[in-house]
Structure 1
């Protein structure tokens, strides 16, 4: 299998030579940073259409983590275009964090369409360093398809735990590597290098559940699921809650 992966990677690399050349010359990062947000508007619409029932079910329990005031304080890390807003409980206070400032204009549009939420602020920062957010200041941290692209998963989870209040929850919805010996696993290996460049550092081959399991949360509910077949290489997911 390793030889087949190598040869197919080589073929994909030849076909995608312009992308690799731009990356080698140092131009691709800026191009991708600008093109990624508008492309995510389209992808998020397709993704939500394919997963809406599961997502709605997944986010139904968020309100139970609200603090003494009864009003849920939610931080979404890697908020992107705000595609998750429609799934959040009415009245919750939302802070958004994303390292790409080019998402802001798309996020503002989603805020305007989400009158059931109380939007607080957009913080431009990587998940590894959310120092603008105070310790123990939020009830829930949400990530959806974010841990695949961060540079340091362990540091991100440390930051998630820091900003959560005691009893607060980390709500995750992440695509992961498929089971070995499956065709999905095989094609993930083939397309990973190009995928990483095209989708802003997204990694097809991460075992993100291991990082969450080892993070020291007091409670953990985690399940492996398969999303819609149309999502192909990112069909294998983990979803769940981890309580501080």
Structure 2
């Protein structure tokens, strides 16, 4: 019965979002989403997200310098940098290489770079996380990926690339919304919103068990916590946070 109700409610949500579905059918939504809507949406909403997740992000990145090279410098590769919302949490003496499959974040990313002068910035590479071929093997101390694995096409491929580019003993930092417990109301509503959510928010999936992919990847040590993020009445309350060492 619950599955039937979820299907009915999902159809209701799709009906409410009918203009978006029509634009998608006409081939107009995807370019508008990538160029205008999604960069604007992320710039505005990530301010509120960072406020509510402040303690979690501070705790997550607190030990980044433990993975610096002997000179005290830290090379960081961030996947899906977007608007640069994580820069404020990174310690000084970091050199950041930014990647994102969407080139239309560049203007907003430049604003974040200007506000965070304690960091050194490398190139912006337009590429999906599944293809980091421009980054040499074992060349970075830390890889950062937050709210990205929900929308990549192949999580396992991204994690393989992360393991490849990390130096031995390097760390992968992650913060992702994930599937809620299957027996919970949160999972029920994730099922309801899933099709429309993915369309509106550039392929973002609400029901991925990303922790399982990380646990299966080639890391020697994993520090992972499941947390309940403070976003009531949304389908993104279930999160994982932590880091994994190559």
TM-score range, shorter chain: over 0.9
Q: 1:231 to 1:223 in 2, by over 3 A?
A: farther
Deviation at 1:89, TM superposition (A): 0.6
Deviation at 1:231, TM superposition (A): 7.1
Which residue does 1:141 correspond to in 2?
143
Unpaired segments of 5 or more residues in structure 2? none
Which residue does 1:104 correspond to in 2?
106
TM-score, scaled to structure 1: 0.98
Per-residue CA shift, 1:181-234, capped at 9, x if unaligned?
211111100001010011111000000011100012111111111111347211
- Within a 5 Å distance, the mapping from 1:25-40 to structure 2 comes to 25-34=26-35, 35-40=37-42
Unpaired segments of 5 or more residues in structure 1? none
Contact map agreement 1:175 1:234 (CA 8 A) in 2: yes
2:173 aligned with 1:171: yes
Contact map agreement 1:47 1:231 (CA 8 A) in 2: no
2:27 aligned with 1:10: no
Q: Once superposed, which parts of structure 1, at least 4 consecutive aligned residues long, lie more than 2 Å away?
A: 229-232
TM-score, scaled to structure 2: 0.97
> Matched residues in 2 for 1:4 and 1:57: separation?
40
Contact map agreement 1:149 1:200 (CA 8 A) in 2: yes
Which residue does 1:216 correspond to in 2?
218
Paired residues, what number? 244
- Within a 5 Å distance, the mapping from 1:1-244 to structure 2 comes to 1-34=2-35, 35-230=37-232, 232-244=234-246
Per-residue CA shift, 1:142-167, capped at 9, x if unaligned?
01010000000010001101110000
Per-residue CA shift, 1:107-147, capped at 9, x if unaligned?
11100000110111111000000111111111000010100
> Matched residues in 1 for 2:90 and 2:22: separation?
42
Per-residue CA shift, 1:21-68, capped at 9, x if unaligned?
111222111011012111111111010011011111111011101122
SS of the residue corresponding to residue 229 of structure 1 reads: coil
> Matched residues in 1 for 2:201 and 2:95: separation?
29
Q: 1:200 to 1:140 in 2, by over 3 A?
A: same
SS of the residue corresponding to residue 223 of structure 1 reads: strand
Mean alpha-carbon deviation: is it higher for 232-241 or for 185-194? 232-241
